[in-house]
Amino acid sequence: MADYVKPLDEKTIECVFGQVTSDGNSNVRCSIESPSNKLGPIASDQLVVITSLATVLLALGTTLYTIWKYRSDSRMRLEQIQNEKAKNHKFEQLQKIEKFYGPFNALREESFILYEHFALEEKSIQKKQGKKFRTLRFLTQKNESGLVGIEKLKPYDQSILSNILEISERSLELIESHGGYIDNPALHTLLGKLAAHFRMLKLAADGKLEGLSENLEDIVFPREIDGAIDNEIHKIESSKNINNVQKKYSPNKTVRFYDENSQQYALRTRKADMSGIYDEFFRFIPKGARILDAGCGVGRDTKYFIQEGYKVRSFDASAAMVDMCNEYPFAFCEKMKFSEIQFGPTFDAVWASASLLHLNSFDIEIAFKKLWQCLIPGGYLYFSLKQNLNKSDTREYYIHDEIILKKILVDDLEMELVKAWETPSSVNFYDKFENYIYKKI
């Protein structure tokens, strides 16, 4: 220990980092320990260094705390902005549905049901003659009694048409007053065609278009409208959460093939003649039915069904295929695998054309159960499988025994086989397909 002796005075004695002792006289000792427990006395310059160092450390700590606090506050503020943005976005989407799409969709449903019960006798006559009944043509042509317009109809048909015209007028008011909620340019055009049809229908019913039927052949009801509106609602519902986290995309070799060859596949299959299979499928489902296009590929069938007046949702495991399907402005296609289906019993029919054939026996059983859950009671499942394997690329194909299929669909899921038939491939001469339609009991 090193001793430093300082005379006592009346002032307060301070001893830094040491111990104070007295010798009994007028002296006091302040003992300082060195790093080796034998430090010498602290000089004034050492105290300055220590004080400066402490000041620097304090300033550094204050600076670091300030930076941390700023970052924390900024992060909280950013989260608040994001939450407010998401809240505003959800409100905007909700307004679109509440102010336009919801009411318009309800009016279309009401009009559709009324039209299904309108002019049944006239429709039956036209069908027997191999023709399709057109309301505009019927209203603009004189009958044997010289009547035209709504006067040609029986009293109950006049009442139904009057209600249809009233609904059309309310629909026009919605389009004109809330058209700003429509973001899809193609839908604007489609609604313009619908509005023209409504106005012509009103004029024809009033007898003001007598003899002009041939000039009105291009004024047709746009059958895409119901599927387009339905999918626009799905798009809005899907976009309500702007912070959706994208799932990790890990395609297998079959999906990678479709990702890498989507353009060529679209060109190869777009002109495939599916009319015979379509006709069989439509025999079992009602007009305007809700269809799930499962494994939709580039969306060829999705587009056709919507154009025919059906409401269609689609999914595919290939991101490239999903993008191509969504190029059709009235489609709503999602990237999804069969095992990820969670729609619930909302569809009148499921269409799985040449998509389940890429699943092995374990996965196809899961797929069937998922698709069964999507169907309403009395709904129909169509699917097609290959009869033979002529593999020329990296896609995986599986042949499934019909007995095993029946065990899953009939024994386990209690579905009823309503039709099974064979067809050649619509895109090449060597593939053959087995087609099945099952009904959910």
Q: What is the rounded radius of gyration, in angstroms, for the C-alpha atoms of the chain?
A: 39
pLDDT at 431: 87
Q: Helix or strand or coil: residue 248?
A: coil
The residues near 347 (Cβ < 8 Å, ≥ 6 apart) are 290, 291, 292, 313, 374, 375, 376, 379
- List the one residue out of 387, 341, 339, 344 whose CA is nearest residue 362: 339
Yes or no: is domain 233-440 CATH 1.10.3720.10? no
The residues, any chain, with a CB within 8 Å of residue 270's CB and separated by 6 or more, are 298, 300
Amino acid, single-letter form, for residue 352: A
Burial 380-406 (b: 16+ CB within 10 A, else e): bbbbbbbeeeeeeeebebeebeeeebb
pTM of this structure: 0.81
- Return the structure tokens found at 147: 């009547």
Contacts 24+ apart (CB under 8 A), 104-110: 104/171, 104/174, 104/175, 104/229, 105/229, 105/230, 105/233, 107/167, 107/170, 107/171, 107/174, 108/171, 108/225, 108/226, 108/229, 110/167
CA torsion angle 141 147 153 159 (round to 10): 110
Angle, to 10 degrees, between the axis of helix 300-307 and the axis of helix 224-239? 120
Cα 322 vs. chain centroid, distance in angstroms? 11
Q: How far is CA 424 from the centre of its chain?
A: 34
- Residues 6 or more apart whose Cβ sits within 8 Å of residue 371: 292, 294, 338, 341, 350, 352, 381
CATH 3.40.50.150 in the chain: give the residue spans: 233-440
Name the percent of the chain in helix, strand, coil, to the closest 5: 50, 15, 35
- In the numeric block, which tokens belong to residue 395? 């896609």
* Rounded Cα gap, residues 154 and 137, in angstroms: 17
**Confidence (pLDDT) at 28:** 47
Q: Are 273 and 285 in contact (CB under 8 A)?
A: no
- Residue 300's nearest CA partner among 319, 264, 330, 325 is 325
Label residue 218 exposed, middle or buried (CB < 10 Å: 0-12, 13-18, 19+). Answer: exposed
SS3 135: helix
What pLDDT score was predicted for residue 38? Answer: 45
Pairing of strands 311-316, 347-352: unpaired
Strand, coil or helix: what is 20? strand
Using CA atoms, how far apart are residues 356 and 332, in angstroms rounded to an integer? 21
Q: In what order do the strands lie in the sheet with 5-7?
A: 5-7, 27-32, 18-22
Tens place of pLDDT for every residue, the chain, 441 residues?
444 444 444 444 444 444 444 445 545 454 444 444 444 556 677 888 888 888 888 888 888 888 888 888 888 888 887 777 777 878 888 899 999 999 999 999 999 999 999 999 999 999 999 999 999 999 999 999 999 999 999 999 999 999 999 999 999 999 999 999 999 999 999 999 999 999 999 999 999 999 998 889 889 999 999 999 999 999 999 887 655 556 677 889 999 999 999 999 999 888 899 999 999 999 999 999 999 999 999 999 999 999 999 999 999 999 999 999 999 999 999 999 999 999 999 999 999 999 999 999 999 999 999 999 999 999 999 999 998 877 778 899 999 999 999 999 999 999 999 999 999 988 887 889 999 999 999
What is the Cα–Cα distance from 202 to 169, expressed in whole angstroms?
9
3-state secondary structure 412-430: HCCEEEEEEEEEECCCCCC
Tokens, residue 161: 């048409």
Contact at 8 Å (CB) between 116 and 150?
A: no
3-state secondary structure of 22: strand
